[in-house]
Amino acid sequence: MRTIIYLAASANGLISNNRNVPDWLSQEYGEGFMAISLRTQAVIMGKTTYNVLAPDYLPIKEGSLVVLTHNTMAEPAQSNVLFTDDSPEKIIEQLAARGHTEAVIIGGTQTVSAFVKAGLVNEIILVVEPVLFGNGLPLLKDIEEAEYKLSLLEVNKLNNNTVQLHYSITNN
Ligand SMILES: NC(=O)c1ccc[n+]([C@@H]2O[C@H](COP(=O)([O-])OP(=O)(O)OC[C@H]3O[C@@H](n4cnc5c(N)ncnc54)[C@H](OP(=O)(O)O)[C@@H]3O)[C@@H](O)[C@H]2O)c1
């Protein structure tokens, strides 16, 4: 199973500002988000991110949309939503058992951190947008004294101001 993080980040590495309004995201980020979701057919996100996207902007109507939450009895916005409080290991096992060979983790910080901490992420795609945030959410948190080495697989300039960095994580 190949697990990929796909995130937009400010040029100083934050994935959200304190206003929490996504007006800094490029069209190209949105297109990449849809493309990787459709390709993998297995999308993992946290409940806070789901609450931003549901019901109108969830990226896939079929396949598996896994949402981490402690409230697993909540009413899902559509039939492919799976609310779960299982561990990252179990989630990946279950996706593999459903026949998925790839999964994309689309945020936010808590969810990305849980999968990185569990050593379950193979690749990370960062869409670096032309903005600096004084405050906001980091890409990772609460992973004490961890360092992850990356290998650069690809760099793409998506428009005049936005760059996409594609890395593999080498030491998980
Ligand atoms: N830049 C980007 O590409 C990007 C992408 C996505 C999101 N974001 C931003 O990221 C922010 C959200 O990030 P976040 O870290 O606050 O939230 P998140 O990871 O989206 O969701 C956090 C929630 O997920 C559930 N959760 C997390 N770990 C869990 C576990 N081990 N077991 C069960 N449930 C678990 C909990 O929900 P319950 O409280 O329901 O239990 C928790 O409150 C938003 O501001 C959003 O705009 C940015």
Half-sphere exposure of 77 (CA within 13 A, CB side): 17
Buried b (16+ CB within 10 A) or exposed e, 61-93: eebbbbbbbeeeeeeebeebbbbbeeebeebbe
Residue nearest (by alpha carbon) to ligand 1 atom 34: 69
What rounded mean pLDDT belongs to the chain? Answer: 96
Write out pLDDT tens, residues 24-36. Answer: 999 999 999 999 9
Instruction: Express as a percent the part of the chain with pLDDT over 90.
Output: 92
Residues with CB under 6 A from ligand 1: 7-8, 15-16, 20, 45-49, 52, 68-71, 85, 106-111, 114, 137
pLDDT at 14: 97
Across residues 120-134, what is the average pLDDT? 97
pLDDT at 144: 82
Domains of the chain: 2-169 (3.40.430.10)
Tell me how far the alpha carbon of residue 167 lies from the centroid of ligand 1, in angstroms: 22
Counting from 1 in the atom list of ligand 1, the atom nearest the Cα of 20 is 45
Write out pLDDT tens, residues 43-100. Answer: 999 999 999 999 999 999 999 999 999 999 999 999 999 999 999 999 999 999 999 9
Neighbouring C-beta atoms of residue 108, cutoff 10 Å: 20
pLDDT at 145: 77
Tell me how far the alpha carbon of residue 48 lies from the centroid of ligand 1, in angstroms: 4
Mutation choice for ligand 1 from 45, 47, 53, 73, CB with most ligand atoms inside 8 A: 47
Q: Does the bond joining 108 to the residue before it have cis omega, within 30 degrees of 0? A: yes
Alpha-carbon distances, residue 116 vs 11, 78, 88, 110, 124 (angstroms): 21, 28, 9, 10, 10
pLDDT at 94: 98
Residue 172 reports pLDDT greater than 60 = no
Q: Coil, strand, or helix at residue 54?
A: coil
pLDDT at 171: 64
pLDDT at 47: 98
Structure token digits, residue 116 = 């990185």
pTM across the whole model? 0.97
Tell me how far the alpha carbon of residue 106 lies from the centroid of ligand 1, in angstroms: 10
